[in-house]
Chains A and B, each alone.
Chain A
Amino acid sequence: MTNLLLQDPFTVLKEYPERLTQTFETPLQTCCVEFSHGGDYLAMGCSNGAVILYDMDTAKPIAMLGNRGGGHVRSIQSIAWSKDDRYILTSSRDWYVKLWDLQKPGVPARQVRFESPVWTCQWGGPFDLGCIATVYEEEYAFSINLTPETPVVAKICDVYEYLGEDEKESEENEELEQQDFGYTLVACVHPVWKEILITGTSKGWFKIYRISDQKVQLVHSYRFAYSNAKHMIISQSGDRVAINSSDRTIRQYSLTANFELTEFNFALEHRYQDVINRLQWNSIRFSSNSAEYLVASAHGSSARDLYLWETSTGTLVRVLEGAEEELMDIDWDFNHMCITSNGLETGNVYVWSLVIPPKWSALAPDFEEVEENIEYREKEDEFDQVGQFEQQQELDQAEEVKIDLRTREKFDVRGNEINFNRFVIPLDYDSILMLKHWDK
């Protein structure tokens, strides 16, 4: 990302994209989008169950999950990339959660079948290679251990929630049982406190679980609304949570906890509503780190834009225009500072990014770009004769500073980690050859 160091710093450090720059006209109807963590690839989940990976450098498809068999057969609900971008988790309305190893994207590496459509699937949980899934009309979320060849699925629920009536003793637990939370629809593993899972239910509850070895504990519950949760997001720093519910409101909370992670507190910061049209929100997404911005897509054929708010004040700061249709899923690539969203009608995928103007002065060294004419004034030392000896001495001095040719930069100028090698999808030489012979 060295290019950022050489571009106009004022443009580079803008915190959100500005203009529609790219439209992918995919042959299939895209219904969910997800950038890889490095921003090199964009995964598009389609309504027929296909998942296509696009290379963002060339804007061309580079791989298709399950093109050698074993792909999904119904609409994709969610896509999640692993931290190193090597594995992908997909969940679908065909009742399956599938794990893909991009070393061999043609066939799924693992798959789990549930008893109904799967809403979401996310990395995390108590296992090294594990995930958390939420399933249609299920009271609890599921944790899946993907390490064994046949993945092991377990319900995530507190013992007290699960026990029969007569086994209950303390009053506190009785209270717990009486409370009907409804079905679990969304679940997010906390990005900082890895053992904390926050779920959102169909009756408008947040439930916070602590998952330790062999034990699941419901540590906190909080009612945010009287309608069902649609999406939940947690900021990278972990102290901000937003929930989109079907009562046409996005609620943004600041989440705090005590040191032992036994007590939690949700404090409502803002509610985002469309007061005029009373639109529902389709999808929401935070910006990086401490989530200074929140972006959302609106439901309904009259809405064609993405709305971007500043989270500290709750004010609308930008409307991302350009798409000609209602927008559905959203993802934000922090490395390249672009936001993508898919259209409902055409299934096209739109990308908004920063437009960095060319710096013409870079072509001619010692030239400077000025906004307007400046009257020339000779600088005090401009034509001073510097002795050759002194000049040489200065150059020699510059060459004594220690240089480090090996150590890579840890963070880019935007604060994203760039210190490790992300997985590169291998080129599929077979298909190149196949296409070549096709042409002939």
Chain B
Amino acid sequence: MGQFQLIATVKQSQGSKQPFTAAKISPNGQKIALCNGPDIEIYDIHEKTSVLLSTLHSRPLSDLCWSPDSQCVATASDDFTVIITHVAYGELHRLVGHTAPVTALKFTHKGNLLCSCSMDESIKIWDTLTGSLLRTLSAHSEPVVSIDIPPHDASILSSGSYDGLIRIFDTATGHCLKTLTYDKDWQSENGVVPISQVRFSVNGKFLLVKSLDGILKIWDFVRGKVVRTFISGESNSLRYTCGMDFLYPAQEADDPIVVSGTETGEIVCWDSQTKQLQHRIKRKHCGNPVMDISCHGSLMCSISLCGECNLWTWVDSESTA
């Protein structure tokens, strides 16, 4: 058993002026980038200071993604475009092509490709060196809200959509390789259950999927089987795409933790092996949906819709005792 300890408050609640939707720890573990309206706020974890990096987006951001070298941040905006901003040099590319708000972004581990998905039901793959569109994958029939690429393998990409389907694509050809449906009969009583987030395990063999009924599942996507189910006990028709991530404790022997935010402002952690509830954080993000969870090493960053952003660290109960 272990639990999270609060180590810093990155940002206080901003009231209800504008929604805050994403906060991500950089791959080198030194910074946190968060969406602040149409701009990016970069928080330095050691200095505990933040700077505002303005972008040329005309509408608020819905997601952002660090490049693997931690030098650039790509932002997805409601103005249908994606901008890649270098932290020191400023804007590198503005990627225009989507015909509806862009919902999520992901760089490959080599940093040479950027994938984006949008409310226009398509996924686009961009060349980050030239900023040109390489290919468009359209195989969903509702907004695509989440995409992910395994940490060491850019050959596949997974997407989750409001049409209730999780698809695995070949990044090189754009072909759909596999479709995971929600359970056996994916038409549940009240229609399909929209998928809200997908996330690969660090070895790229499993896929964590969250849907708008508040249930998380780990899929063995090659065989097409669900191997773990976690139920957060929320209402089964949620409105917000709340965040989730895997946390890998430093001890190799410790099982990875599934961390998930809820619409009621709680953060729930399960042991991925035993499905045991490890920790349920209630005292922060009071009542406000936890929109994004980002883990790096034993660090975890959470942000809620009102802008409250906290940085946590995972502590083993043995070391605290």
Contact across chains for B172 and A365 when beta carbons are under 8 A apart: no
* Complex Cα spacing A175 to B86, Å: 68
Chain A residues within an 8 Å CB radius of B69: 426-427
Provide the residues of chain A in CB contact with B177, threshold 8 Å. 3, 6-7, 359, 362
- A5 at interface (Cβ–Cβ under 8 A)? yes
Q: Which of these, A356, A398, A429, contacts B227 with CB under 8 Å?
A: A398
What chain A residues lie within 8 Å of B173 (beta carbons)? 356, 358
A25 and B127 CA atoms in complex are apart in Å by 19
Q: Judge whether A406 is part of the interface by a CB distance below 8 angstroms.
A: yes
In the complex, per-residue mask of B214-227: 1 if CB is within 8 Å of any chain A CB, else 0: 00001010101111
Segment at the B interface, from A57-65, A177-185, A287-295: A57-65
Q: Decide yes or no whether A363 CB sits under 8 A from chain B.
A: yes
Please report which residues of chain A, range 2-25, place their CB below 8 angstroms from some CB of chain B when the two chains form the complex: 2-7
User: B170, B201, B248: which has the most chain A beta carbons within 10 Å?
Assistant: B170
- Chain A 231-261: CB-based contact to B (< 8 A → 1; otherwise 0): 0000000000000000000000000000000
**A404 touching B203 by the CB < 8 A rule?**
yes
Which of chain B's residues have a CB closer than 8 A to the CB of A418? 153
Complex interface: chain B residues within 8 A of A57 (CB): 108, 110, 112-113, 154, 171-172
Interfacial residues of chain B within 144-191, with CB under 8 A of chain A in the complex = 150, 152-156, 167-168, 170-173, 175-181, 186
Q: Which residues of B contact A377 (CB under 8 A)?
A: none
The residues of A that contact B171 with a CB separation of less than 8 Å are: 3, 57
Task: Determine whether the beta carbon of B92 is less than 8 Å from that of A429.
Answer: yes
Q: List chain B residues, Cβ under 8 A from A364.
A: 179
Residues of B within 8 A of A150 (CB): none
**CB of B272 within 8 Å of the partner chain:** yes
Within 8 Å CB of A1, what residues of B?
153, 155
A399/B275 contact (C-beta < 8 A), A58-B113, A409-B203 known: yes
Residue among B68, B130, B179 making CB contact with A363, cutoff 8 Å: B179
B210 to chain A, nearest CB (A): 16
Binary contact readout A421-440 vs B (1 if CB under 8 angstroms, 0 otherwise)? 10010110100110110000
Chain A residue with minimal CB distance to B155? A3
Q: Which residues of A contact B168 (CB under 8 A)?
A: 6
Q: In the complex, which of the residues B110, B180, B205 contacts A409, with contact meaning CB atoms closer than 8 Å?
A: B205
| Contacting residue for B110 out of A40, A406, A408, CB 8 A | A40
**If A1-B153, A399-B229 touch, does A7 touch B222 (CB 8 Å cutoff)?**
no
> Interface majority SS on B: helix, strand, loop or mixed?
loop
Query: In the assembled complex, how far is the CB of residue B96 from the closest CB belonging to chain A, in whole angstroms?
Result: 15
Kindly state whether residue B204 has any CB partner on chain A within 8 Å: yes
* B-chain residues with CB within 8 Å of residue A421 when the two chains form the complex: 152
Cβ-based interface call for B134 (8 A): yes
Interface contact B220-A403, CB-CB below 8 Å: yes
Residue of A362, A398, A421 ringed by the most chain B CB atoms within 10 A: A362
Assuming the contacts A403-B228, A427-B128, A429-B71, asked whether A3 and B220 have C-beta atoms less than 8 A apart, the reply is: no
Q: Contacts of A436 on B, CB cut-off 8 Å? A: 92
Min CB distance, B85 to chain A, in Å? 11
What are 18 A-B contacts defined by CB distance under 8 Å?
A2-B153, A6-B156, A6-B177, A6-B222, A57-B171, A60-B129, A62-B129, A363-B176, A365-B224, A399-B275, A403-B206, A403-B220, A404-B205, A405-B206, A406-B248, A408-B204, A409-B203, A427-B128
A-binding residues in B (CB < 8 A): 67-69, 71, 86, 89, 92-93, 108-113, 127-130, 134, 139, 150, 152-156, 167-168, 170-173, 175-181, 186, 201-206, 218, 220, 222, 224-229, 246, 248, 252, 256, 272-273, 275
Please list the residues of chain A having a beta carbon within 8 angstroms of any beta carbon in chain B. Answer: 1-7, 40, 55, 57-58, 60, 62, 356, 358-359, 362-366, 395, 398-399, 401-409, 418, 421, 424, 426-427, 429, 432-433, 435-436
Contacts A2-B153, A405-B201, A418-B153 known; list 18 others, CB within 8 Å: A2-B150, A2-B155, A3-B170, A3-B171, A6-B178, A62-B129, A362-B175, A363-B139, A364-B179, A365-B180, A398-B227, A405-B206, A406-B202, A406-B252, A409-B203, A409-B205, A427-B128, A429-B71
